[in-house]
Each structure stands twice: as structure tokens, then as C-alpha cells.
Chain A
Amino acid sequence: MRVAVAQFSSKLGDFESNLEKTLQFCSEAKDQGAKVCVFPELNLTGYNVWDITFEVALPLDSPKLSPLLEMSREIDIVVGLVEESPEHVFYNSAVYVSGGRIKHVHRKVYLPTYGMFDEGRFFGHGNRVETFESAFGKSSILICEDLWHMSTVYLSFVQGAKFLFALSSSPGRGYRETGMFGNAEVWMNMGEFYARMTGSYFIYANRVGCEDGFVFSGKSFIANPYGEIVAEASPFDEELLIADLSEELVRSARISLPLLRDERVETTFNNLRRVLDEG
């Protein structure tokens, strides 16, 4: 079970050229024997789309996605794009494409709207965290800020996800670490922690390149269910990161740390209900 993470730099607002490069990465990933190729958040449009949102948005049945659907007959693909719903609400979405069709859609639930972020101004928020069957097994897709809220990871976990696809376009900031931006180090800490606590693979695809002086922090990685980083990309360069995943290791980790077995979802639910009721 081989995964490829495409550490990608997008052209802001240029869907066609981003799609072309996405297909090239997919071909290369396929040649290297990967079953799934994972791209960063909004890789088909660029991250700071702002008012370009309404110009690059696509309904999921758009013919513009045909080349991607065609490619998915050869390799499964996770890509980020701006989705326009039939009701004309715009979402920061990621889709899992396989066998010529879109098999799963995740709409980003948590839209950062503070500091340098302004997503809530342009996007509607998703309200579902689901699992689906990827080429590897039960999986979830979460996007960037989603993962800073433990609840989304928890929801994937209790539904039994074994493979977390974590997509981000994280602008670099913080100069008090070594060899990477501060936020890249936080992502690694999160990946190690979440992988261990959920007994899952954490597959992190982040962007590189600049948009108006936002330098995306790269350092995509794959953490195994024991919370060990088994593959790690550079801070600046586009590259294809490859790792072999093993179901046996998920099993092994979940025997060694049976947190899923012991999880008391009902207790969580009852307490959440109580917290809500008590205001």
C-alpha cells in the first residue's frame, strides 16, 4: 500500500495550469507504484483566493474535472478545490477521486477568520466529518484548521478511520525553530500525536511556494500509527513524497494501545448533551 504526497506550489487563480501539474504529479506517483496521490488544500486554485473564489469555483459535476476523473482510473487522487454547491454556496473542499468518479467530498468545517486568515468571508462551512473507503481502507479527509480542532479528529477516530488525509496550505510563520517554520513544527507534533492517539496513519500534504509574501511552510510528512514520522519533505521544494503503509501496523498499534476499543462514545455524547443543555 504505497501513498504519494505531492508537495505542491499552485498558481493563484489559474485552475488549468494547476490541474495540468496535478496530473503530472499523479503520473509520476503512479509510475512509482502509489495507489493514492494526495495534494494540499486548494491546490487546484491556490490558497488566498479571496474574490477569485467566485471565478474558480466549480460544481462537482463540472466537465473541467474530466481530466482528473480520467486520471483516477489509474490512481486514486485527493485534491483541494473551491466547490460551488447547487445553491451557490462556496466551499473549501477536498475530494477523493477514484475509478473515474468522485467518491467522497469533505467540506472544510473550520474556516479560520482571524489574523492573516479570512476564509469565513468567502466560504461556507461544511458540517460533516465522515469516513469512506479509500484504496487503503477506512479513511477521513480533514483540511488544515479542521485539525486544530480535536473534535474533527475525534469524529474520524470513533468512526474507525485508519488513514487520515490531512491537507493544508499553511503559511510559514515563527522563527524560533530549527530548519523549519514554527507552524511546520506544530504540524509535526500534531501528526505524531494524532497518529499515536488514534492508531492511524496521518498523511499530511502541505504547500510550498509564495503568495504575496506568504511563504508556505512545506514539510509534508507521513506518520505511522505508532506516531513515528516515516517520510518527510523539504521546507521549500515541490516534491513527491512516497511511503509504504501497512494495515498490519494499524492492527499492531491498536493492540498495543487499544484506545478505540475502550473509547466511550456514549459518555462523550452524554456529556456533550449535558454541556449544551447547561449552556
Chain B
Amino acid sequence: MRDKLERELHIKDRKFIKNVLTHFIREEVQKAGFEKVVVGISGGVDSALTAFLSAEALGRENVIGISMPYRTSSPQSVEDARLVAETLKIEFHEIDITPQVDAYYSLFPDADNVRRGNKMARERMSILYDFAHWKRALVIGTSNKSELLIGYSTRWGDSAHDINPLGDLYKTQVWEMAEFVGVPERIVKKKPSADLWPGQTDEGEIGLSYRTLDLILVGYVDLRLKREDLIKAGFEEKLVDRVLSMVRSSQYKRKLPIICKIAQRTVDKDFLYLRDWGL
């Protein structure tokens, strides 16, 4: 079974999948009436891959990269964000979010890391949308399938965007694709981190490696295996339970607000139109 899961994660023709993603970006951006996208570039692999795909799909003149460090962000992240922009030769802005975050937390000096991290993610979102309006662009998201499924994101922060090319790629697949499209090796190889506080790593916080996480997720989500099947496939019971419970308890993050039904047709329930209605 484990072999099957490994095979299930493997992208056989990365060139083809790159073409799918660039066609998706081009068509969904252009038919909504836009030519440009803004992307928050963190220095990590997800946003680097998104920027590379966007530049390929829309032309480098139509991609605006924004690095938004906070005073505790690692200098390496800032450097790597610059490297992405320089490699692609895209319009690039560096905006230090320290003043706006610190102004707020001067009211709450005891606020913990998670509060501060969420606030940073939402400040970044508000900057991306400000640029989107200013530059007549869509905000392109960088959330991958692994983090979407376990809810490893800030609601209305990094999870808020207009289109998302990576949302059906697991993190390990993002690495494969990033390597293929030519994202600089040091970005592909480095330890993933949300960099919301010093020393934070994704795998440390989630409590298991992306490799294991993705194997469990592809089994549960794509192959619809049961908890017992996954344990039989050799995954530790407590890891399986941990992953499944993260998936379940983060469902709210994947949904828009729920509406109380009163009338015959209700916007979030039986008013069923794709967003591409008329496009």
C-alpha cells in the first residue's frame, strides 16, 4: 500500500503539469479582465513557484512581487525573496510591516506569537489587495494542498487570494515542480518555515515531516482510505489520528461564512453558479 501512496504522489510529466498551471493562470486572469497579478514573495518555495509560473503564464512585465518582512523575519528570507525577483526580473517591492504591526501591539504588549503571526499574515493580505487595486491586478495565492488540508494557514491572511495555482499540489509535489521550473536550489532545498517568529519551522510545528504528511493525506483524501487502512500501511496510529483530526478541525478554514437559511434560495446553499459565470 505504501508503494501505491508513493506512486500516487509522483508527477510523471512535470512539463505537462507546468503547462496546465500556466494555462490556468493565463485563462483565469485574462477572462476576469486582468493582465497582471500580485504575489507576496516570502523567500519560500511556494511563493517562488507561484511567481515563476505567473511570469511564464503572463510575461514578467505582468507580475508584481512584494516582499513584506517583519523585524523578526530571517534575513535569509528577505534575501531569497530578492533572489526570486531578480531571477525573474519582475517588478518588486519591499515593504517592512513592522510599523503597522507594532503600532497595534503597543496596545497589547503581552500578545503571544500566534496572535502576532496571524496579524502579520493579515497585514500582508491587506497590502496585496491594496496593490491589486492600485495596479489593476489579481492577487495570486500560494497555498499548497498539504497546508489547505490541515489548515496550516491564517484565515483571511495567506488563505485570502483570488486564484490559486498550487492548491491541488502537495508540498512534496511543490518541491518537484519548483525544481523543474528552475526555482533557485537554495530556495527549494531549505527547511520550510512560515517565518512568523524566529526558529519556527513548518515540520516542527505540524509535528511530522511533509513526506509522511503527504503520504497520509494522499491516502485519505485522494484514495479515500480509512484510518485503519493507513495504520495497516505502516503509519503510526498517533500520526494518522493527528493528521485526520487536523483535516477535520480545519474544515471551517476552507469554507466561506455559513448563512442561516430562511428563504427558498440562499446564497451559500442553493444559488449555484461558478465564479466563471459569463466568462
Contacts and interface: CB of A to CB of B under 8 A. Distances in A.
Contacts of A12: 274, 276-279
Contacts of A213: 24, 28, 163
A27 interface: no
A215 B20 contact: yes
Interface string B105-141: 0000000000000000000000000000000000000
Nearest to A213: B24
B24 A210 contact: yes
B13 A51 contact: no
B89 interface: no
B10 interface: yes
Contacts of A179: 13, 16
A235 B20 CA distance: 9
Interface stretch (A66-74, A75-83, A125-133, A169-177): A169-177
Contacts of A191: none
B13 A178 contact: yes
B7 to A, nearest CB: 7
Q: Which of B10, B19, B24, B273 has most chain A Cβ within 10 Å?
A: B273
Interface in B20-64: 20, 23-24, 27-28
Chain A interface mostly helix, strand, loop or mixed?
Answer: loop
Given A175-B12, A179-B13, A209-B27, A235 B276 contact: no
A236 B22 CA distance: 11
B11 A175 contact: yes
B276 A210 contact: yes
Interface size class of B (residues with CB under 8 A): 20 to 34
Contact of B272 (A50, A172, A180): A50
Interface in A2-16: 11-14
B15 to A, nearest CB: 8
A250 B192 CA distance: 59
Contacts of B272: 50-51
B275 interface: yes
A202 to B, nearest CB: 24
Contact of A210 (B17, B27, B278): B27
A48 B279 CA distance: 12
Interface in B218-247: none
Contacts of B279: 11-12
A48 B272 CA distance: 10
B276 A211 contact: yes
Contact of A48 (B19, B23, B274): B274
Contacts of A175: 11-13, 16-17
B23 A215 contact: yes
B225 to A, nearest CB: 16
A98 B274 CA distance: 33
Interface of B: 7-8, 10-13, 16-17, 19-20, 23-24, 27-28, 163, 270-279
20 contacts: A11-B278, A12-B277, A12-B279, A13-B273, A48-B274, A50-B273, A51-B270, A51-B272, A52-B273, A52-B277, A177-B12, A178-B13, A180-B16, A209-B27, A210-B23, A210-B24, A210-B276, A211-B276, A215-B23, A236-B23
Interface pairs A-B: 9 shortest CB-CB = A50-B272, A212-B274, A51-B272, A178-B13, A210-B27, A175-B11, A176-B12, A12-B276, A212-B276
